Amino acid sequence: MASRELAGKVVASLAGASLPIRYEALDASSVARRDCDALILALPNGLAPEYVAAIDAAAGGSAAPVIIDLGADHRFDSNWYYGLPELTRERYRGERRIANPGCYATAMQLALWPVRELLAAPPQCFGVSGYSGAGTSPSPRNDVELLRDNLMPYALVDHLHEREVTRHLGHDVQFLPHVAPHFRGLTVTANLHLGVAVTHDSLRDRYLAFYADEPLIGIRDEAPWVSQVAGTHRAEIGGFIVAPGATRAVVVSTLDNLLKGAATQALQNLNLAFALPELTGIPVDTPA
C-alpha cells in the first residue's frame, strides 16, 4: 500500500482491517521493482504514465502485471480496456491495462445507456457529489467550511467526465457538476429528450430488462437518495418521470463515488482480469 501523505501509518488504523500493513512512499521506480501480479494506481491525473512506463521497462519484455488506473490518464486511450463491467465486459479480451471509469461518468453512463438509441438531443445531466470526489489536495471544492450550507457549481462546460461519457456512450452529453457539504455519494439527474413517446412503465421496464442480470444495479420506481446508496456497492436508478408530450423524461442515477464509482468497480475489473467470479470480495448489498 503506497501513499505519500500516509507513509508509515498502519493501514488497519484507517480501513478497520486486521492486517499489520503500513503505507509506504513509493516512487515509480520503486513500484516497478515490486513483484506484483496486479497494481491499482490511484494517482492525481497526469502521474500514471510515469508509473506505467517504469513498470513496462522493468518487465523487460515478459508479461507485465495487470494495471488498473483509477485516474483519468488512460480513459481515452484505445490501447486500454475501458472497464465499466455492466456495459463493457463483453468487449474484454484479456487486456492487462484497464482504465477505471470516473465516478460521475459511471453514474451517467448507467443512466443513459439503456436509452441511448432513443436520444434525440444531448441529455443534460445535473450532478451533485460529496466533497470526497474532489480529492485530498486542498481546494474550495473540499473545504468543509466553504461548503457548509452551500452548493458549489464548477466546470460547467467541457468537464472531463462530460468528454469521457460522450466518447464511450457515442452520443453528446451535457454535464453540470456541483459539490455539496456531504462527504460521499453522488447523484445525477438526467434530462432526456427522446425520439419516441414513452410512459413511466415502459421506461422503467426498459431499465429493468437491461439490468436484469446485474446484482450491483438496482432499479426503483422513485428517485433514489444519496443517503440510501452511500456506503454500499450498488448503483440505484429510478424516477422515470415522463413530461407531457411523452418525449421528455427524467431519470436519476445514484452511487457511492468511493465504491461503485471507484474501488468496487476496480475490484470487478481485477476479478475479470484474473478470470475470477466478478463479485469475489464484493458484498451484494440489500437495497435500502
Positions marked catalytic: 103
d(CA 182, CA 226): 10
Angle (nearest 5°) at CA 281 between 264 and 10: 80
d(CA 134, CA 143): 10
C-alpha cell read off for 147: 461548503
**Buried b or exposed e, range 143-153, using 16+ CB within 10 angstroms:** eeeebeeeebe
- Amino acid of residue 205: D
Angle (nearest 5°) at CA 267 between 231 and 257: 35
